[in-house]
Amino acid sequence: MLNDVDIYRSWAGLLGSGTFPAGDPTWQYPPGIAPLFMALSALPLDPRWGFTLLILLVDAALMGALILAHHRSHDTSWRGLWLWALAGLVVGPIMMVRFDTVPTLFAALAVLTVARPLRSGALAGIGALTKVWPALMLLALPRKALPRGLAALVATALVGLAGFALLTTGSLSFLGNQGARGLQIESVGALPYVLWAAFGGPVAYGYEYGSIQVQMAGTEIVGLVVSGVGLLAFAGLVWGRLSGRLESALPGDVALAVLLVSLATSRVNSPQYNVWLIGLAAVALLARRSRMGLVVVLIIVMSVLTQVVYPWTATQLSTGDPITAVIQAARILLLLAATVVALVRIFRASSPEVTA
C-alpha cells in the first residue's frame, strides 16, 4: 500500500524545481497539493515515515477543529469526535498512505465556519486547490450567505491558480489528465460489468491513469449517463438551496449529502474517498440534531467492506471472482442507499411534520 507514497516521492524533486509532472498521466491533482509532496524532500526522514507523519499532523488538526467546534456550541454530540477518532479503523491503512485527509480537513473547516461565509468560502477554495471536491461545500452555506461564500471561493482559487501558473511550469496539467479518465472499476457505473464478469461474461479491463478501467464498448455512454444523473442531482440541490428548501437542514447534513451525490455519480470511486465521507460524517454528527445517523451507519459498513476488497482482493475484482463481485456490489448498493437517504432527509428537514 506504499506504492503511492513512492510515486509522491518521485514527484517531490521535480516539484521542488518548479515543474509539475505534466507528462505523468497519474498526476491528476490541482497544484495546491504540491507543497505536501515537496515537504517529503525537506523532512530528515525516510519519505514513507515522513509522509505518514505529515498525514498524522493533518489528522490531528482535523480532530482539534472538531473538538473546538464541540466546545463552542451547546447543541453538540460526542458522536462526531468518536467517529473521527475511529476513522483509521473504519477506513483502514489507506488513510495513512494517501493525501486525502488534506482536502478533507479544508472541507470540514469550510462547513464548520458557515457562520462566517467569507472564511468558509476561502477555506473551500484552499481545499479545491488540493483536490477539487471541497468546492462543493459551498452548498452548505445558507442562501443569503452564498454570494459572499462564492466570491471568497472564486477569489481564493483564482489567486492560487494564478500564483502557481506564474511561478511554476505545468501547474494546470491536471485538467487534461483528470478529464481523460474513463470508467473506473470501483465506480457505480462499472458495477454491471463487474457482475457480468462474475457470471462468466467477457469483460476487458486496462490500467490507465493510475487505476483499473473498463475497456468495453458502451462505457462512454454509461459514463455520460452517470454524469448526467449527477448533473441533475446537483441542479436539484442548487435549486433546493436557492429556493430556500434546504434552509432548515443542518450545514453538516447538507455537506455530507452533496459529497455522497458526487461520489455516487462519478466515473471514479477510489477506496481512499471513504476518508472524505468519514470526515464529513464526523462534522455532521457533531450536531445533536443531525439527521444523518442511518446514513453514517451505511457509510461505516461500506468503508469496512472496502477494506476487504482493497487491497486484499482488488486483483480478483478484475478477474471475475464471484465473492469479490458480491462484496463490491454491496459497497455500491450501500453508497446508493446512503445517497438516497441523505437527500430525502435534508429535503424533508423543512417539512413541519418531520422532527429533527
| pLDDT per position as a tens digit, 184-220 | 999 999 999 999 999 988 888 888 766 788 988 888 8
Answer yes or no: are the C-beta atoms of 305 and 331 closer than 8 Å: yes
C-alpha cell at 324: 469479490
Which residue from 340, 132, 125, 111 is spatially nearest to 233, judged by alpha carbons?
Answer: 340
Cβ neighbours around 12 below 10 Å, total: 20
- Please report which residue ranges of 140-273 form alpha helices under DSSP H: 146-167, 174-179, 191-198, 219-242, 251-264
Residue 354 has pLDDT above 60, yes or no: no
What is the 3-state secondary structure of 318-353?
HHCCHHHHHHHHHHHHHHHHHHHHHHHHHHHCCCCC
Q: Quick one: average pLDDT of 119-131?
A: 97
**Which of 279, 302, 83, 102 minimizes the C-alpha distance to 186?**
302
Give the model's confidence band at 44: pLDDT under 50 very low, under 70 low, under 90 confident, else very high.
confident
Residue 179 is predicted with a pLDDT of 57
Q: Note the pLDDT of residue 41.
A: 82
SS3 state at 287: strand
pLDDT of 355 > 80? The answer is no
| Confidence category of residue 104, pLDDT binned at 50, 70, 90 | very high
pTM for the predicted model, two decimal places: 0.94
Kindly report, residue by residue over 149-182, the tens digit of the pLDDT.
999 999 999 999 999 999 999 988 888 765 557 8
pLDDT(88) > 90? yes
β-sheet bridge partners, residue 211: 208
- Nearest Cα to Cα of residue 339 among 247, 241, 237: 237
Mean pLDDT for 130-152 is 97
